[in-house]
Chain A
Amino acid sequence: MSGTIRLEVERKPEAGDPRRERATAALRAAGLGAAEVVSVHDVYVLGGTPWSGMVAQQVAELLADPVTEKVRAAAPAGPLTVDVAYRPGVTDSVAETVVTAAALVGVGVERVATGTRWEVAGDVSPEALEAFARGHLANGIVQRIMVGALVPVAFEAASAPAAVESIVLCTIDDDGLLAVSAERRLSLDLPEMQAIRAHFRELGREPTDVELEMLAQTWSEHCVHKTFRAHVDYTERRADGTVDEAASGVVDGLLKTTIRAATEQLARPWVRSAFVDNAGIVAFDDAYDVAIKVETHNRPSALEPFGGAATGVGGVIRDIMGVSARPMAVLDVLCFGPEDTPADALPAGVLHPARVRAGVVHGIEDYGNKMGIPTVAGAIHYDPGYVRNPLVFAGSVGVLPRGAHPTTPEPGDLVVVVGGRTGRDGLRGATFSSMGMDAGTAEVSGGAVQIGHPIHEKQALEVLLAARDERLYHAVTDCGAGGLSSAVGEMGKELGAEVELDLVPRKYAGLAPWEVWLSEAQERMVFAVPASALGRMQAIALVHGIDCVAIGRFTGDGRVRVLSGGEVVADLDAGFLHDGLPRKRLVGEWRAPGPVGERAWPRADELGRALLARLADPNVRSREEVIRRYDHEVQGGTVVKPLVGVDGAGHADGAVLVPFEARAGVAGVALGVGLAPTAVGARDPYAMAWVAVDEAVRNVVAVGADPERVAILDNFSWGDCRYPDRLGALVRCCRGARDAALAYGTPFVSGKDSLNNEWKDEDGVSHPIPPTLVITAMGHVPDVTRTATSDLKAPGSALYVVGETRDEATPRCPEDAPATFRALHGAIRAGFVRACHDCSEGGILVAVAEMAIGGGLGAELDLDAIAAPNGTSAGARALAEWPSRFVVEVAADDAVAFEGAMGAAVLARVGETTPVPAISWHAGEGSGTLGLAEARAAFCG
Chain B
Amino acid sequence: MSVKAAVLHAPGTNRDREAAWACELAGATPEIVPLGALVARERRLDDYGLVILPGGFSYGDDLGAGKVAALILRTRLGDDLDAFIASGRPVIGICNGFQILVKAGFLPGTRSDGRPTATLSHNARGRFECRWVTLEPVAGTTCAFLDDLAEPILCPVAHGEGRVTFTSDLAGRDAARRGLVALRYAPTPDTDDGYPGNPNGSAGHVAALTNPAGNVLGLMPHPEDHLVPTQHPRFHRGERHGSGLTLFTRAVAYAARR
Chain A interfacial positions (CB closer than 8 Å to B): 15-16, 18-19, 21-22, 62-68, 93-94, 96-98, 100-101, 104-105, 365, 369-372, 453-455, 458-459, 542-546, 627-636, 638-641, 644, 646, 648, 658, 660, 663, 784-785, 787-789, 791, 793
> What 1/0 flags go to B233-245 for Cβ under 8 Å of A?
1111110000000
Contacts A97-B63, A634-B14, A634-B15 known; 20 new A-B pairs at CB < 8 A:
A21-B126, A66-B116, A67-B121, A93-B62, A97-B59, A97-B68, A100-B59, A101-B63, A104-B71, A104-B72, A372-B14, A455-B12, A455-B57, A543-B36, A544-B11, A545-B36, A633-B158, A633-B225, A788-B236, A793-B238
A369 touches B63 (CB 8 A): no
Please name the residue on chain B nearest to A644 by beta carbon: B236
At the interface, yes or no: B177 with Cβ under 8 Å from chain A? no
Partner of B18, one of A371, A636, A641: A636
A68 touches B15 (CB 8 A): no
B237 touches A793 (CB 8 A): yes
A98 touches B63 (CB 8 A): yes
Across-interface contacts of A631 in B (CB, < 8 A): 128, 130, 158
Q: Chain A nearest CB: distance from B164 CB in Å? A: 10
A641 touches B37 (CB 8 A): no
B128 touches A459 (CB 8 A): no
- Could you tell me the distance between the alpha carbons of A100 and B122 in the complex, rounded to whole angstroms? 23
At the interface, yes or no: B136 with Cβ under 8 Å from chain A? no
> What 1/0 flags go to B147-166 for Cβ under 8 Å of A?
00000000010100000011
With A67-B118, A68-B121, A629-B129 known as contacts, the answer to whether A372 contacts B15 (CB < 8 A) is yes
Please name the residue on chain B nearest to A21 by beta carbon: B126
Chain B interfacial positions (CB closer than 8 Å to A): 11-12, 14-15, 17-18, 21, 34, 36-37, 55-57, 59-60, 62-64, 67-68, 71-72, 75-76, 103, 115-116, 118-119, 121-132, 156, 158, 165-167, 222, 224-225, 227-228, 230-231, 233-238
Main secondary structure of the interface of B (DSSP, over half): mixed
Which of A16, A371, A454, A630 lies at the interface centre, i.e. has the most chain B CB atoms within 10 A of its CB? A16
| List of 6 A-B pairs having minimum Cβ-Cβ separation, nearest first | A372-B14, A18-B126, A97-B62, A67-B119, A631-B158, A633-B156
A455 touches B60 (CB 8 A): yes
B158 touches A458 (CB 8 A): no
Across-interface contacts of A630 in B (CB, < 8 A): 130
- Could you tell me the distance between the alpha carbons of A371 and B122 in the complex, rounded to whole angstroms? 20
- Could you tell me the distance between the alpha carbons of A62 and B64 in the complex, rounded to whole angstroms? 9
A100 touches B68 (CB 8 A): yes
With A65-B119, A67-B118, A455-B12 known as contacts, the answer to whether A372 contacts B132 (CB < 8 A) is no
Please name the residue on chain B nearest to A96 by beta carbon: B62
Q: Chain B nearest CB: distance from A861 CB in Å? A: 22
A628 touches B60 (CB 8 A): no
B121 touches A66 (CB 8 A): no
Please name the residue on chain A nearest to B239 by beta carbon: A646
15 A-B contacts (beta carbon < 8 Å): A62-B67, A65-B119, A67-B165, A100-B59, A101-B67, A371-B14, A455-B12, A459-B11, A459-B12, A543-B34, A545-B11, A546-B11, A634-B158, A660-B18, A784-B230
Partner of A629, one of B62, B115, B130: B130
A458 touches B12 (CB 8 A): yes
- Could you tell me the distance between the alpha carbons of A67 and B118 in the complex, rounded to whole angstroms? 7
A18 touches B225 (CB 8 A): no
- Could you tell me the distance between the alpha carbons of A97 and B69 in the complex, rounded to whole angstroms? 11
A544 touches B34 (CB 8 A): yes
With A94-B63, A104-B72, A372-B15 known as contacts, the answer to whether A628 contacts B121 (CB < 8 A) is no
Q: Chain B nearest CB: distance from A325 CB in Å? A: 15
Please name the residue on chain B nearest to A661 by beta carbon: B17
Q: Chain B nearest CB: distance from A229 CB in Å? A: 40
Please name the residue on chain B nearest to A456 by beta carbon: B11
- Could you tell me the distance between the alpha carbons of A782 and B36 in the complex, rounded to whole angstroms? 41
Across-interface contacts of B62 in A (CB, < 8 A): 93-94, 96-98
Q: Chain B nearest CB: distance from A654 CB in Å? A: 13
With A545-B36, A636-B224, A644-B236 known as contacts, the answer to whether A101 contacts B68 (CB < 8 A) is yes
Q: Chain B nearest CB: distance from A488 CB in Å? A: 26
With A15-B121, A459-B11 known as contacts, the answer to whether A658 contacts B60 (CB < 8 A) is no
B126 touches A22 (CB 8 A): yes
With A104-B71, A628-B131, A631-B130 known as contacts, the answer to whether A636 contacts B63 (CB < 8 A) is no
Across-interface contacts of B156 in A (CB, < 8 A): 633
- Could you tell me the distance between the alpha carbons of A628 and B57 in the complex, rounded to whole angstroms? 18
- Could you tell me the distance between the alpha carbons of A631 and B131 in the complex, rounded to whole angstroms? 9
Across-interface contacts of B121 in A (CB, < 8 A): 15, 65, 67-68
Q: Chain B nearest CB: distance from A372 CB in Å? A: 2
B68 touches A104 (CB 8 A): yes
Please name the residue on chain A nearest to B157 by beta carbon: A633
- Could you tell me the distance between the alpha carbons of A629 and B130 in the complex, rounded to whole angstroms? 6
A648 touches B59 (CB 8 A): no
Q: Chain A nearest CB: distance from B197 CB in Å? A: 10
Q: Chain A nearest CB: distance from B32 CB in Å? A: 10
Please name the residue on chain A nearest to B122 by beta carbon: A18
Across-interface contacts of A542 in B (CB, < 8 A): 36
B125 touches A458 (CB 8 A): no
A65 touches B64 (CB 8 A): yes
Across-interface contacts of B123 in A (CB, < 8 A): 18
Across-interface contacts of A636 in B (CB, < 8 A): 18, 21, 224-225, 227, 231
A638 touches B231 (CB 8 A): yes
Across-interface contacts of A644 in B (CB, < 8 A): 233, 236
Across-interface contacts of B131 in A (CB, < 8 A): 628, 648
- Could you tell me the distance between the alpha carbons of A628 and B132 in the complex, rounded to whole angstroms? 10
A62 touches B230 (CB 8 A): no
Which of B14, B235, B238 lies at the interface centre, i.e. has the most chain A CB atoms within 10 A of its CB? B14
